[in-house]
Structure 1
């Protein structure tokens, strides 16, 4: 049992998100905080969001690619809940980064602990190119695993593309993706960076969250992680995020 009230951490992170003001790493303020505590805290904030009119729409996996773990000083993936309102004004972001990801929409339920890649393939209705804007309520992104889990996997906002594809029409183990800002390419990567294949990453996520009793439901969205190193949004600009042979998503930061 935790030696502190998990609700205190949850409220601190909710307040930081609402006000756009970062806090010290929770693992420093509450030194006994561990990864299981972190997940319980994100569950508390997810429940608070739903009780206040939001809707749970799916789950995300983050820091799955080695380049992402290196960039943020982590050695383990994180994960979090996705809500219908996971979109906030630019002025509410603290230090946001752009990631390019595939997104999967389920047509049937999935629950671990023994889900295979074949099970994942059978359960996916279609895939979409997607962007995640990650953001941290922790000052200077000074995060350990318990911190980012408590902060809902450093989720900021999700933007879905408009080109759905059956996964049989995609080569998810080898699809190149790249980001451009104001017409200049700033980063590139490949879906093979997502645990070799984002379908394998999805199976990992489902099996990992099964220990918390989480079941993935038909119609929900899964974000299995970025194919490239996240790029810092440094100011206003026009972003273009493309998967070769699949689709492009554009958005503007003002």
Structure 2
């Protein structure tokens, strides 16, 4: 695709995000959009946000668990930039009108103390680079009508990012068994979905290595202080109404917020 076409895709998605109005899937309007050109669109969107005063503070992996792939009709993971503007403080109220068709996910979040670069990054290198783990909720949202996405559509849309809420209970890796940590998502005081970190490519540390190695193809590396979201451990739940959400991992703690 020509650079001008990539800019057109980026502008269309950015406008949809700002106006909170979904658009047809970019692959329908631009049939030549593939994964590599979609990531170029994503990068244009991140650069435009930074030019307006935002910051890239990490990266995310999505649709890594089979439950998520089945739910959204994808057979490959997606990935995106984490922008500071999308982070909300735990315990605050989030306005649902900020989104188009949001879903809630529960996942661990890694905060790095070291550099991490692929290709061929190993799980051992991920462990060395991680400072601590937090419980996290990601609100995913799509600028594509009816979530009718192929992989290039969600990549161009920055991995369908919406918002991120980090919990305040940092834990060391040595205190956790991330290949087998159960998690439960609650809404209005009742459990609505459960899962296990083992669903995240067997271990979210392995998922982080996968993400690092995939993004190395685009000359992206991870830096100290960045947040890495390795993917949800459970099927995402629609965020349709006002109320209180909380997610809890055994041994890792709880993260919560309200929706108005």
One fold, TM greater than 0.5? yes
Report what 1:47 is aligned to: 47
Query: In structure 2, the residue corresponding to 1:85 is in which secondary structure?
Result: helix
Aligned residues of 1:198 and 1:224 also touching (Cα < 8 A): yes
- SS of equivalent to 2:246: strand
Distance in 2 (alpha carbons) for counterparts of 1:253 and 1:3: 39
CA contact (8 A) 2:246 2:256 kept: yes
- Looking at structure 1, the residues matched to 3 and 57 of structure 2 have their Cα atoms a distance apart, in angstroms, of 32
Q: With the length of structure 2 as denominator, give the TM-score of the two structures.
A: 0.96
Contact 1:2 1:32 survives alignment (8 Å): no
For residues 76 and 25 of structure 1, do their structure 2 counterparts lie closer, same or farther at Cα, with a shift above 3 Å needed? Answer: same
Residue equivalent to 1:6: 6
**Correspondent of 1:151 among 150, 157, 164:** 157
Moved over 6 A (4+): none
Q: CA deviation at 1:92?
A: 2.0
* SS of alignment partner, residue 212 of structure 1: coil
Partner residue, 2:66: 66
Runs (5+) with no aligned partner, structure 2: 88-93
How many Å apart are 1:183 and its aligned residue? 1.1
Instruction: Work out the CA distance in 2 between the residues paired with 1:226 and 1:57.
Output: 19
Written as runs of structure 1 = structure 2, the 5 A alignment for 1:3-152 is: 5-87=5-87, 89-152=95-158
Q: CA RMSD in A?
A: 1.1
Aligned positions, number: 254
Q: Does 1:162 align with 2:168?
A: yes
Using the TM superposition, give the Cα deviation of residue 90 of structure 1 relative to its aligned residue in structure 2, in angstroms.
2.3
1:83 deviates by 0.8
Is the CA contact (8 Å cut-off) linking 2:61 and 2:79 kept in structure 1? Answer: yes
Q: Do the aligned residues in 2 keep the contact of 1:2 with 1:33 (CA within 8 Å)?
A: no
Name 2:230's counterpart in structure 1. 224
Structure 1: unaligned runs, 5 residues or longer: none
CA distance in 1, matches of 2:238, 2:96: 13
CA contact (8 A) 2:133 2:171 kept: yes
3-state DSSP of counterpart to 1:108: coil
Residue 245 of structure 1 deviates from its aligned partner by 2.1
- TM-score between the two structures when normalised by the length of structure 1: 0.98
The alpha carbon displacement at 1:89 in A equals 4.1
